[in-house]
Structure 1
Amino acid sequence: MSVSKALIFEGVGCVEVLAGLVVNTFITAINLRDWWTSRKLKPYDKIMANLGFSRVFLLICFFLRIVNRISKLNVYSSPAQRCAFRTAQLLFDFASLWFAMWLCLLYFVKVTMFKNHFFVWVKLRIPQLVPPVVIITYVASFIFGFIYAFSVGETSDVMDGVNLPTNRSVYKELSYMIPLYFIGHVLPFICVSISTSLLIQTIGHHIRHVKANITGFKRPRLDAHLSAIRSAVLLEFMTISNLLATFIFHFDFYGYFEANVSVLFLVSYPLFHSLVIVTGNVKLKRVLWGIVDCVKGKLAIERCLISQHIESKRETNAQQK
């Protein structure tokens, strides 16, 4: 790859990482502010706060790796440093995917009316189930990340400039990578896909029920339902893209694909997935528009002050003449 092309990839990756840090820090900060104010959070907000928190540190890991590659510092060259860094990255990578899965499942359980006694029991006990779910997610992500980082010596990794030269190394990598990435990536993807399809089916059934039972000339307002379907489809598309990019990034041992493109997809996933969550959440969207209105107001005041200063300066110059 040419130097100019590599710099373009690195520059776009840095922009995506920085934008993702802003969005996920916003999600975490708003939920922490609410917790600090009321000393309690809804189960949905607890999962969302941990999702933003894990993605902030995942993006920091991505940023450090991009900077390390650009500057060629090789800051984690020793096996112990490499193991620690990979453990941290996989911890937040697996945790963010599992929190995204819990968020999808929680929303599905929240909007669906169940007749099964088990699902009714789960729905009633969601506030008690969320704290142990959060702890188990972090602990399991750390364990699986540490096992992978400790067991694997080298990986085919474009961000480290490493390629596996022998089939023996490939078989050794696969013996650890396939089970761990199934738990960390494929299993959350399966659960998200199932819950998303059931959620779309439930919302579609509700829309048909509302249209079939409408009386009078007033049309029902279905904007919220259609918006939820669009968000669910968009999130599922991004989840599929992230899974494919992950497999190309980690399992393309001999460079058959352009790995830098998969890096951009991996880095963009925490950004755009979180953006869709923000636009679909009433509380976050209200705070975001409040910030935008405040910035617009300050800019308008500054423009007014500047115009007044220019006008007064013109009047002073006119009087001097």
Structure 2
Amino acid sequence: MSYKVNTILMLVAGGEFLVGVIGNAFIGLVNFMDWKKKKKFASIDVILTSLATSRICLLCTILFDYFVLVLYSDVSYYGKEMRIIDFFWTLTNHLSVWFATCLSIFYFFKIANFFHPLFLWMKWRIDKVILRTLLGCLIFSAFISLPITVNLNEDFRYCVKAKWKTNLTLKCRVNKTGYFFTNVYLNLIMLFPLSVSLLSFLLLILSLWRHKRKMQLNATGHRDPSTEAHVGAMKAVISFLLLFVVYCLAFLIATSSYFMPDSELAVIFGELIALIYPSSHSFILIEGNNKLRRASRRVFWKVKYILKGRLF
């Protein structure tokens, strides 16, 4: 690609990164200040802060990988540092997905209304197991990310560089086959948290339908707090699902680029699309959380007041 195209794409990537870091850092900062004031962390704040932290790390990893690919392409094929980047991208990717799934499950148990004994028991226990669940997600994500460092070695990188040459060796074909199965393995694992979030969304719809039918039978207004809580949680979950599907497609393009022509271009566009998910979802979470929404409004009006004072 030309220098001008590279510059434009790098500016787009930098803009997406900056927006994502601002949104996720805002979530973490507001929750930290609230904890410092109250000396207590609510379960939802723990999940949101963990999710925001993982997404900042994911954004940093994707952007760093993007810049290395564009500016130092030789390192992207031969550098040992790329094994570390591959590991951290896979780790932060799965970690942010699992944390978002934990958020979907938390919304479901806190807002849905079912009277099954197992549901009521888990609803009562959810606050007590949040920290252990998040720690379990961290350990599990690290465990499933280890195969990426084994298969994406220097020999495989060399085979990628020479993939269109006619004298490919058997060793190269074996390395590519191993990477292919690792790629399939990582993408299949991501289907599980997606399925869990989708199930939570469907159960929230069922709970809302039953709640609204009960309100109609009791001739009660529909704009009650429970209905609004259901709708707010459903918006957060469905936005995660939609953005997550787009992100999965981008992640699949980027990780499968070694089997495509013009692999560098495929990785670049895959990573640009992938940056949308961790960047934009944070603002949807801010808008859906009362505390974060009020804090964002205060910041907005302060910034507007300062800018207005400087202009006039």
TM-score bracket, normalised by the shorter chain, equals 0.7 to 0.9
Q: Which amino acid aligns with 2:282?
A: S
**Match 2:237 to one of 228, 232, 238:** 232
After superposition, give the CA deviation of every residue in 1:46-94 in whole Å (9 maximum; x if it has no partner). 0110000011111111221222233327567666422222222222111
Q: Are 1:199 and 2:199 counterparts?
A: no
Partner of 1:273: 281
Aligned residues: 298
Moved more, 92-101 or 167-176: 167-176
Deviations 1:1-32 (A, max 9, x none): 55544433332122111110111111111112
Equivalent position of 1:248 in the other structure = 253
CA distance in 1, matches of 2:121, 2:162: 50
Q: Structure 1 219/198 Cα, relative in aligned 2: closer, same or farther at 3 Å? A: closer
Alignment partner of 1:182 is 2:192: no
2: distance between equivalents of 1:163 and 1:18?
35
Does the 8 Å contact 1:112/1:202 carry over to 2? Answer: yes
> How far apart, CA to CA, are the structure 2 residues paired with 1:277 and 1:219?
24
Name whichever of 97-106 and 291-300 sits farther off.
291-300
What one-letter code is carried by the residue in structure 2 that aligns with 1:254? M
Q: How far, CA to CA, are the matches of 2:152 and 2:192 in structure 1?
A: 21
Question: Any gaps of 5 or more consecutive residues in structure 1?
Answer: 305-321
**How far, CA to CA, are the matches of 1:163 and 1:10 in structure 2?**
26
Name the larger-Rg structure: 1
Which one-letter code corresponds to 1:136 in the other structure? G
Aligned runs of 1:272-311 on 2, under 5 Å? 272-304=280-312
Residue 148 of structure 1, CA deviation: 1.7
Q: Is the 1:14–1:66 Cα contact (8 Å) retained in structure 2?
A: no
How many Å separate the matches in 2 of 1:262 and 1:163?
Answer: 22
Change in CA separation of 1:163 and 1:45 when aligned onto 2, cut-off 3 Å? farther
- Which letter does structure 1 place at the counterpart of 2:241? E
Judged with a 3 Å threshold, the aligned counterparts in structure 2 of structure 1 residues 201 and 248 are, in CA distance, closer, same or farther, namely farther
Which residue of the partner structure matches residue 71 of structure 1? 71
Whether the 8 Å contact between 1:28 and 1:52 is mirrored in structure 2 is: yes
Contact kept in structure 1, 2:114 and 2:120, CA below 8 Å: yes
Distance 2:207 2:262 in 1: 41
- Report the more deviating stretch, 111-120 or 185-194: 111-120
Look up the SS of the partner of 2:87 in the other structure: helix
- Cα distance in 2 for partners of 1:267, 1:193 equals 22
Q: Distance in 2 between matches of 1:250 and 1:76?
A: 13
Residues of 1 paired with 2:26 and 2:163: CA distance?
Answer: 39
**Structure 1 residue 256 displacement after superposition:** 8.5
Distance 1:214 1:2 in 2: 66
Aligned to 1:9: 9
TM-score where L is the length of structure 2: 0.84
**What is the CA distance between 1:211 and its match in structure 2?**
3.8
Q: 2:167 maps to which residue? A: none
1:163/1:199 CA distance change after superposition, 3 Å: farther
The answer to whether the Cα contact below 8 Å between 1:104 and 1:195 also exists between their aligned partners in 2 is yes
Measured at CA, do residues 42 and 74 of structure 1 come closer, stay the same or move farther in structure 2, by a change above 3 Å? farther
Alignment pair present for 1:132 and 2:132: yes
Larger CA deviation: 135-144 vs 197-206: 197-206
Residue 41 of structure 1 is matched in structure 2 by 41
Kindly indicate whether the alpha-carbon contact (under 8 Å) linking 1:58 and 1:92 is maintained by their aligned counterparts in 2.
Answer: yes
Query: How far apart are the structure 2 equivalents of 1:195 and 1:164?
Result: 43
How far apart are residue 208 of structure 1 and its match? 3.9
Aligned equivalents of 2:155, 2:280: Cα separation in 1? 27
CA deviation vs aligned residue, 1:248-284 (integer Å, no higher than 9, x gap)? 2212421499724322221110011111111111111
Please state how far the C-alpha of 1:227 moved relative to its aligned partner. Answer: 4.8
Q: CA deviation at 1:174?
A: 2.2
Identical amino acids, percent of aligned pairs? 24
Whether the aligned pair in 2 keeps the contact of 1:156 and 1:251 (CA below 8 Å) is no
Runs of at least 5 residues in structure 2 that lack an aligned partner in the other structure: 165-171
Quote the RMSD (CA, aligned, Å): 2.9
